[in-house]
Amino acid sequence: MRRNMLRVSLAIAVFLAPTQVMFAVPTAGGAERIAIATPSRGLFEFPVVVAMRKGFFKDEGIDVDKIQMQPAIAVKALVSGDVDYLLAWGSALRAAVTGVPIKAVLGMVSRPLHVLVARPGIKTPKDLKGKIIGVDSVAGTVDYLSRVAVRHFGMEPERDVKIIVTGESSIRLAALHAGSIDATPIDIAFAVKAEDEGFKRIIYLGDLIELPLSGIAVTDQKLRAQREQVKKVVRAALRGTRFMKQNRAETVQMLADYLRIMPAQSAKAYDASINSFTDDGIISDKGVNLDVQLTKERLKLTKDIPLSQLVDWSLVKEIK
């Protein structure tokens, strides 16, 4: 039944529906089945992937369906109850700022994991002028990071470059190969692969901005009504992050398998990014406030937004 509802939501791209609690469906073995939405395949979601592969969710009595969908649609699916959890930090926070009743309950990545890469013919950042940059969705985090990079190099989006929606990281990399785009901010694991294939690294975006990239969001109602389940999901994902940090060799191999890259490329991506993953599952107030400020500027909002409207770290603190 859940899958049928999800198909309907995706087919008609419903607007925000009244919040309803979709209680997890028990499986034959007695475990609760939940759906986690992710905007794309990448390093940013890897604590959840590790937790799935290592059986940390099963240890909590939970079976996970991880579903990929566009961030804006994923927010609607979360609010309507068609999915239970959302990994698209930026889209979830932007929705919460506007009053949508959802909160981040776990922070996984505190800085961008993206590198702006370009075709070999682009020798300097100024060569991007008049070129096409590919992103995964309109007004998403990758779109925003593109604009941060363009402005960092003294240019203006829309005026000096063209930004188009191309798809997730692997699709954007293929678009670079095909020449249909000239540059893209791409997950560092794919960026390492791109460099090995001759593409040029322009800048690591984690050096430009302390912008949270990944976490787990839920509806306020689910947090109230199914707090214990949410706590189990948070605990499993936290174990995934800790496993990543404490088991480099196995994590590197899992990452290579998951993203279909060479182990040497996976190792480079791991070493460059591992410190961007949180140790305790909490994003600093500074990081959250920066995201809030940027969202307010984009949406032309002026009222103050309390952090309690956006995040709830109580479960992480209880687990610790």
Give the mean pLDDT of 82-105.
95
219 and 304 both lie in a single domain: yes
Place of tokens 């994590």: 251
Confidence class for position 299, pLDDT limits 50, 70, 90: confident
> Helical H runs in 99-157?
141-152
> Helical H runs in the chain?
2-12, 46-53, 56-59, 71-80, 89-97, 141-152, 169-178, 188-196, 220-225, 227-246, 248-259, 263-273, 285-299, 314-319
Give the mean pLDDT of 266-295.
93
14 and 83 both lie in a single domain: yes
Residue 66 DSSP one-character state: E
| Paired strand residues for 311 | 104
Length of the chain: 320
Residue 292 identity = V
Query: Dihedral angle at the C-alpha atoms of 51, 56, 61, 66, nearest 10 degrees?
Result: 10
Give the mean pLDDT of 202-214.
90
99 and 215 both lie in a single domain: yes
102 and 226 both lie in a single domain: yes
Q: What percent of the chain has pLDDT over 70?
A: 91
Predicted local confidence at residue 18, as pLDDT: 34
Predicted confidence (pLDDT) at residue 237 exceeds the cutoff of 70: yes
Select from 174, 207, 240 the last residue of a domain.
207
Instruction: Compute the distance between CA of residue 107 and CA of residue 196 in angstroms, rounded to an integer.
Output: 31
157 and 21 both lie in a single domain: no
As a whole number of Å, the CA-based R_g of the chain is 19
The CATH code of the domain that includes 160 is 3.40.190.10
219 and 273 both lie in a single domain: yes
Out of 47-56, 64-73, 131-140, 173-182, which region has the weakest mean confidence (pLDDT)? 131-140
101 and 215 both lie in a single domain: yes
Return the structure tokens found at 256. Answer: 């290579």
Predicted confidence (pLDDT) at residue 26 exceeds the cutoff of 60: no
Q: What is the domain extent for residue 197?
A: 117-207
Confidence class for position 25, pLDDT limits 50, 70, 90: low
Using an 8 Å Cβ cutoff, are 54 and 243 in contact?
yes
Instruction: Compute the distance between CA of residue 33 and CA of residue 20 in angstroms, rounded to an integer.
Output: 17
Predicted confidence (pLDDT) at residue 79 exceeds the cutoff of 60: yes
127 and 200 both lie in a single domain: yes
Give the mean pLDDT of 198-203.
95
- Closest alpha carbon to 245 in 282, 284, 204, 276: 276
Predicted local confidence at residue 29, as pLDDT: 60
310 and 266 both lie in a single domain: yes
Instruction: Compute the distance between CA of residue 175 and CA of residue 261 in angstroms, rounded to an integer.
Output: 17
Predicted local confidence at residue 78, as pLDDT: 98
200 and 215 both lie in a single domain: no
| 300 Ramachandran zone, left/alpha/beta (phi>0; psi -120 to 50) | left
Predicted confidence (pLDDT) at residue 295 exceeds the cutoff of 50: yes
Select from 207, 237, 254 the last residue of a domain.
207
Q: List all residues 6 or more positions away from 211 whose beta carbon is below 8 Å from its beta carbon.
A: 111, 112, 141, 144, 145, 287, 290, 291, 294
Provide the 3-class DSSP secondary structure of residue 132. Answer: strand
Predicted confidence (pLDDT) at residue 15 exceeds the cutoff of 90: no
Using an 8 Å Cβ cutoff, are 212 and 206 in contact?
no
The 10s digit of each residue's pLDDT in 121-178 is 999 999 999 999 999 888 778 888 999 999 999 999 989 999 999 988 889 999 999 9
Predicted local confidence at residue 139, as pLDDT: 76
Using an 8 Å Cβ cutoff, are 173 and 193 in contact?
yes
Return the structure tokens found at 139. Answer: 């007004």
Predicted confidence (pLDDT) at residue 187 exceeds the cutoff of 60: yes
Q: List all residues 6 or more positions away from 314 whose beta carbon is below 8 Å from its beta carbon.
A: none
Confidence class for position 30, pLDDT limits 50, 70, 90: confident
Half-sphere exposure of 73 (CA within 13 A, CB side): 17
- Closest alpha carbon to 64 in 73, 54, 75: 54
| Paired strand residues for 184 | 117
| Paired strand residues for 157 | 161
99 and 221 both lie in a single domain: yes
Give how many domains the chain has, as a whole number: 2
98 and 142 both lie in a single domain: no
Select from 207, 231, 259 the last residue of a domain.
207
Give the mean pLDDT of 247-262.
96
Predicted confidence (pLDDT) at residue 298 exceeds the cutoff of 90: no
The 10s digit of each residue's pLDDT in 96-120 is 999 999 999 999 999 999 999 999 9
In degrees and rounded to multiples of 5, residue 308 shows phi and psi of: -65, -20
